[in-house]
Chain A
Amino acid sequence: MLVEIRNVSKTYESDGTRIGVLDSIDFSVDDNDFICIVGPSGCGKSTLLRIIVGLEKPTSGEVLFKGKAIAPENPKVAMVFQNFALFPWLTVTENIELVLEPKVHDEKQREEIACRYIRAVGLDGFEKVYPRELSGGMKQRVGFARALAVEPILLCMDEPFSSLDALTAQNLKDELLMLWADASMPPEAVIMVTHNVEEAVYMANRIILLSPRPGKVIADLRIELERPRNRKDPEFYRWVDKVYSLIV
């Protein structure tokens, strides 16, 4: 058991009224889990992810990582953002080296690690390029490389494909799955937030469904489909239907 989310709830105070965002979320993450958290907009799934990563504190409940509490700069968890969140004044390599600085104190070593993961995502040739010159797909590849470079045990992704055009997203999803299948690559588990059911069925081996605000877990099911998955496959349709039926 890698991560335990124990009875996590989150409420906000606004102008005197309490708004419930998450309600008693409880599940655990095991080795080799690729979890997609699916739910409608505003159901708090992004908030849940931020709590798991440690960027926000739950109002009640806790998140344990191998038995210990999660801290924001927990080197074992890394995040990929919907809008890439790259630093515009740093090159691709520098963006990756930056996140290595807190842990890796040797400059040469940082360079090496950055290089390795740049190659892994297929960005060799782009080392000295600035983010503004990159297309959306390239930027997110940097996002992946950066997250993988800290060699996390858990990778958290917040709607990583939503800002990309459909074709590029397709390409990137397949490449991510290739990296996931590679045993020599981190991470050991992935939690991905999405509002797109097809995307979830395509990527995940486990889907957690959240209800509209306040978000509650309505279902937690394992997707038993062989990889590589094919959207045109009738089996695929059936799983998508199944998930939809649970939502409605």
Chain B
Amino acid sequence: MVLPKATISEIIGLLEAINDAGGVEDAARLAADFDLELDEILPSIDGAELLGFVVVSDGNIELTGEAKRLLDAGIQERKKIIRDKIAGVPIIKELTDRLLRSDEKRMSREEVLKFIQKRISAADVEDYFKIIINWTRHAGLIGYDSDSEEIYLLSGA
């Protein structure tokens, strides 16, 4: 799982739902709670797993300690926790490294799309681009200038 098609909001929403169920819940029942099909909730589960907030076994999704810490925290605290997790996601780490190594610390949209294409061979690279922007903006790691269509490293990354 390189990158799931789920926004950070969706992932946190999922965590909150599992928390309500006592910290562990069956995937099918989670889907039913939200009136979703199983494959509609799957990306959020994958995302939560990728960020280290859940462990999945036998169709059961269980919150990690990190997740519980996140849920107890306030809005600003949450941002800090998430930021560290996002920075550690392999594809995002690669992207930030690449930006660091470049001269102007910028990359054009086209270059990013190519970058994604190499790692995720899918037709809808645009969608993954949006997810990366969503995650990295949330984390305050990378910014995107829609006028010049370039991503750039944010200070403190």
Contacts and interface: CB of A to CB of B under 8 A. Distances in A.
Asked whether any CB of A lies within 8 Å of a CB of B in the complex, the reply is yes
Interface of A: 119-122, 124-126, 128-130, 133, 135, 137-138, 165-172, 174-175, 178-179, 230-232
A172 B9 contact: yes
B96 interface: no
B137 A126 contact: yes
A27 B75 CA distance: 34
Nearest to A126: B137
Nearest to B22: A232
Contacts of A166: 13, 34-36
Given A129-B137, A135-B134, A170-B16, A175 B75 contact: yes
Contacts of B41: 167
Q: Give the secondary structure class of B's interface.
A: helix
Nearest to A165: B10
B10 A178 contact: no
Given A167-B34, A178-B75, A232-B22, A125 B143 contact: yes
Please tell me the size bucket of the interface on B.
20 to 34
A219 to B, nearest CB: 26
Interface of B: 7, 9-14, 16-17, 20-22, 33-36, 41, 44, 74-76, 78-79, 133-134, 137-140, 143-146, 154
Contacts of A230: 20
B146 A168 contact: no
A168 B137 contact: no
A166 B21 CA distance: 16
8 contacts: A124-B79, A126-B137, A138-B9, A166-B34, A167-B9, A170-B13, A231-B20, A232-B21
A168 B7 contact: yes
B140 A168 contact: no
B29 to A, nearest CB: 10
A178 B9 contact: no
Nearest to A121: B75
Given A137-B7, A170-B17, 19 more contacts: A119-B76, A120-B75, A121-B75, A122-B79, A124-B79, A125-B143, A128-B143, A129-B144, A133-B133, A135-B7, A137-B9, A166-B35, A167-B9, A168-B7, A168-B9, A168-B10, A170-B14, A171-B9, A172-B9
Main SS class of interface, A:
helix
Nearest to B137: A125
Given A119-B76, A126-B137, A167 B21 contact: no
Contacts of B78: 122
Nearest to A202: B20
A232 B20 contact: yes
* Interchain residue pairs A-B with the least CB separation, the first 3: A167-B13, A170-B13, A171-B13
A126 to B, nearest CB: 6
A135 B143 CA distance: 16
A125 B154 CA distance: 9
A177 to B, nearest CB: 11
A171 B145 CA distance: 27
A188 B33 CA distance: 32
B36 A174 contact: no
Nearest to B35: A166
Contacts of A122: 75-76, 78-79
